[in-house]
Structure 1
Amino acid sequence: YMPVTTAGLNALPEPMVTQGAAMNNISRRLVASLAIVIASLWLEFRLNSAGPLATPSAISEVFIVTGVMILLALPCAWRFPLNDERAE
């Protein structure tokens, strides 16, 4: 997340950097917490509906969905420049 954080904070005016860093931290933690809750709810739903034999299948589904989300995020990451011209 460091290149994204750096790019985002560099776009802010100097007086707003601390507030931007705080919002970045809060949003990162909130999204991570929501992802854990959703994965836990999915696992709980699958285990309640199909029993303990569905555990490997439910875990595999969570990993597949996570992998698909990572693959969908890659094009966004590739849009960032390799080096920053402003740093020179």
Structure 2
Amino acid sequence: MTVDNSAIIGYVFFPNCWGKGYAREALNWMISYLVETYQNIDFCAYVNVQNHRSIALLHNLGFVRSIFFPNIESNQDEFNQEVQYRKG
């Protein structure tokens, strides 16, 4: 949590855990807990544009696409495209 009542959320799951609802369950629990504990919270998530499963999950949880970042430098001297999603 930050002083302005925002939370940047992130998650990583191994491929053998994909499609089983673990991410949805974890995010639902985390969002519910933070809202109950801190009330008015703005949530933010950053997602690679090619991560279609994460984008669909965020949409299903009520997140809205906010900002597009076309040239995010990665650790391998490559550039990725990311999108910020917000809820709150």
Name the TM-score class by shorter chain: 0.3 to 0.5
Q: Which has the higher contact order (CA 8 A, sep 6+)?
A: 2
TM-score, length basis structure 1: 0.33
TM-score, length basis structure 2: 0.33
Q: Which has the larger radius of gyration?
A: 1
* Richer in helix (by share): 1
* Richer in strand (by share): 2
